[in-house]
Amino acid sequence: MASKDIKVSNHIPNDLAFSILSKLPIVSIKRFSCVHKSWALLFQNPNFLSAVGKNFISQYNSFYDDTCLMLKRTQGYDNRCVFDMLSGERFENRVRLDLPLPFQDDDTCIQILGSSINGIICLYQEGDHSKIVLWKPTAKEFTIIPSDNVNYLPYSTTLTKTHGFGYDSVSDDYKVIRHATLFERDTDSRSRNYLEGYRLYISKSVGKFWEIYSMRSNSWRKLDIDMPLRINESVVVYMNGMCHWWGIKVGKEYVVSFDLSNDVFLTTPTPLDMCDNSNLGMVERHLVVLNMSISLISNYAMNTTFHISVLGQLGVRESWTKLFIVGPLLGVEHPIGVGKRGNIFFRKENYKLAYLDLSTEIIEEIGIQGESHFCQIVIYKS
Amino acid sequence: MAEEKSQASSSKMLTLKASDGVLFEVELNIAKEMKTVQAYIDDCEDIETIPIPNVLGKHLAIVIEYIKKTNEEYDAEFEKQWNMDDLQLLLLAANYLNISGLQECLCKAIAKRIENKSPEYVRKVFNIENDHSPEEEAKLRKEYKWAFEGVDKD
């Protein structure tokens, strides 16, 4: 009747457009930059990006259902490790875990590699005989990964660096990636250096290669590949069939992503906006997974303002999008892990552990102390 | 007389008049969810019919239904029934009537509908003219080439 003649304005006002656009995923936002100049401008606005970030963080992802946290802390000058499982909304439920058998005699310097996959955690202990154990704490089961390797030359010593633990769904296999450097065995004690439990041989390196362990074949296989090495004890993450780590090659830093199903890797350089040669000093970077997306937490050394960028597409440097700038945060040191809903865990200067809730930007302590620098928190899903 | 009055005040009904003249009788507590209507009532206590000049009858009906039924399940299914035009008009209605829950729901729905579309489609949806020069647009498309993979055909 009359409704055909009466036209109600269809024009969406700016505040509603803001609200709609801030709910889009990063890839859509980038694509829509060419819709209109005002949009391209809006998409650079930190307030807008912060709204995008908050929506991104709070988006439901079923992966995080029924998860808890595994906390590793070290105590004493020799870095003896204790493991706890944390659960509950405020992590009030704590269960101390018994270490699996291989580590019961020597519980020093154990590191968690990545996070849990089907309830399995990969633990490794660098040192004389690098020990790697796959551990299922809920079932109290473990598997020791053999460290002897036919790829190693006789009369050589090997320095290995584990780089990733993951699951290959194509071959239904659990795999571990490692880099090995072989040295001439040097029996002259004068040329040995000891550094944090590692033995650095000044003798000549006679070979370097990557190798991959397959649980199905229970053996290591050499890889004909040249990838950037993991930076020190930086975090390794696993997601959707790929292992990712923060790597360095020829002084340049990258996210390295290794596909377990086809042994192919790709690299993503650091975001362009924060560079080491700025006069604000060195940039510290932490690779994390936020709501199932590869992300980077960066801060200038000695500065507690954290810049958080999410990677829109693997391999594409321009797709890094800075969604959060948080801080300065009082009394926090570096991140020790990420929980669900983008909760970033920190160890504070007073040794107390706390998490930053990205949607409210509030820091909450969890009532646990972490004595030394080597705390790790990972998501555990059985 | 006194009886009638007390009955009226315990389940007071209000009449809302849409832009096309359609009338809706709603309970007071439903109407109060529309903050704009609430403000109207606060100003003129005895009012019985409130004009809603910006909203068509068909949309007002949907809004009232939403307020009555809203819950997680309902909200998840709600937006699927409407086309893009209606979604936008409903959003404008929710905005005018100041119903924040419905606004959020609709903003999310519209975002979901456009997230995999082309810039041309989005311009049509928001009734925007492209103000980039062809060179500027080409430059942006090249810079964000990776964001154009797998986009829905218009």
Interchain pair A312, B107: CB under 8 A = no
pLDDT, chain A, mean: 86
Interchain pair A12, B107: CB under 8 A = no
Question: With contacts defined as CB-CB under 8 Å, which chain B residues touch A56?
Answer: none
Candidates A27, A28, A35; nearest CB to B123: A35
Which whole-number Å values give the CA distances from A80 to A11, A99, A325, A375, in the listed order? 64, 11, 35, 11
* pLDDT-based confidence at residue A154 (cuts at 50, 70, 90): confident
**What percent of chain B clears pLDDT 90, i.e. is strictly above it?**
65
A to B CB pairs, distance under 8 Å: 102
pLDDT of residue A127: 62
- The arithmetic mean of pLDDT across residues A37-51, rounded, is 92
Say if residue A122's pLDDT is above 70.
yes
Interchain pair A8, B92: CB under 8 A = yes
- Determine if the pTM surpasses 0.95: no
pLDDT of residue A262: 95
* pLDDT-based confidence at residue A212 (cuts at 50, 70, 90): very high
CA distance B108 to chain A (A): 6
pLDDT of residue A301: 76
Question: With contacts defined as CB-CB under 8 Å, which chain A residues touch B19?
Answer: 6, 8
The rounded distance, in Å, linking the Cα atoms of B77 and B65 is 13
Mutate to test the interface with A, among B23, B59, B107, B145 (most CBs of A within 10 A): B107
**What percent of chain A clears pLDDT 90, i.e. is strictly above it?**
58
- Please name the residue ranges forming H helices in chain A: 14-21, 26-31, 37-42, 46-58
Say if residue A218's pLDDT is above 50.
yes
pLDDT of residue A4: 41
State the virtual CA torsion across B74, B75, B77, B82 in degrees, nearest 10: 120
pLDDT of residue A296: 94
Question: With contacts defined as CB-CB under 8 Å, which chain B residues touch A268?
Answer: none
Question: With contacts defined as CB-CB under 8 Å, which chain B residues touch A8?
Answer: 19, 54-56, 89, 92
First to last CA, chain A: 61
* pLDDT-based confidence at residue A131 (cuts at 50, 70, 90): confident
Interchain pair A8, B116: CB under 8 A = no
Least confident of A106-110, A141-145, A275-279, B134-138: A275-279
Question: With contacts defined as CB-CB under 8 Å, which chain B residues touch A19?
Answer: 103-104, 107
pLDDT of residue A287: 93
The rounded distance, in Å, linking the Cα atoms of A354 and A43 is 32
A162 touches A132 (CB < 8 A): yes
Interchain pair A25, B91: CB under 8 A = no
pLDDT of residue A373: 75
Say if residue A7's pLDDT is above 70.
no
The rounded distance, in Å, linking the Cα atoms of A207 and A346 is 38
pLDDT of residue A164: 93
Least confident of A6-15, A186-195, A283-292: A186-195
Nearest Cα neighbor of A314 from A264, A380, A252 is A264
- The arithmetic mean of pLDDT across residues A190-215, rounded, is 66
Chain A: residue whose CA lies nearest to B113: A24
Interchain pair B115, A25: CB under 8 A = yes
Least confident of A39-48, A135-144, A176-185, A355-364: A176-185
Chain A: residue whose CA lies nearest to B57: A3
Say if residue A173's pLDDT is above 70.
yes
CA distance A361 to chain B (A): 22
Least confident of A47-61, A174-188, A241-255, B107-121: A174-188
Mutate to test the interface with A, among B97, B105, B122, B125 (most CBs of A within 10 A): B122
Interface predicted TM-score (ipTM) of this complex, two decimals: 0.89
The rounded distance, in Å, linking the Cα atoms of A135 and A24 is 39
Interchain pair B144, A30: CB under 8 A = yes
Q: Is A14 helix (H, G, I), strand (E, B) or coil?
A: helix
pLDDT of residue B4: 45
Question: With contacts defined as CB-CB under 8 Å, which chain A residues touch B131?
Answer: 36-37
pLDDT, chain B, mean: 88
pLDDT of residue A187: 54
Least confident of A150-164, A249-263, A290-304, B79-93: A150-164
CA distance A216 to chain B (A): 36
Interchain pair A6, B126: CB under 8 A = no
The rounded distance, in Å, linking the Cα atoms of A311 and A295 is 6
* pLDDT-based confidence at residue A304 (cuts at 50, 70, 90): confident
Question: With contacts defined as CB-CB under 8 Å, which chain B residues touch A20?
Answer: 107, 110-111, 114
Q: Report angle CA B89, B90, B92 to the nearest 5 degrees.
A: 65
The greatest distance separating any two alpha carbons of chain B, rounded to the nearest whole angstrom, comes to: 77
Question: With contacts defined as CB-CB under 8 Å, which chain A residues touch B121?
Answer: none
Specify which residues A208 forms β-bridges with: A181
Candidates B19, B128, B143; nearest CB to A8: B19
Chain A positions contacting chain B at CB under 8 Å are: 1-3, 6, 8-13, 16-17, 19-21, 23-25, 27-28, 30-37, 40, 312-313, 316, 318-319
Question: With contacts defined as CB-CB under 8 Å, which chain A residues touch B127?
Answer: 10-11
At B11-29, the pLDDT tens digits run 788 999 999 999 999 998 9
CA distance A258 to chain B (A): 20
* pLDDT-based confidence at residue A40 (cuts at 50, 70, 90): very high
- The arithmetic mean of pLDDT across residues A315-323, rounded, is 92
The rounded distance, in Å, linking the Cα atoms of A43 and A23 is 12
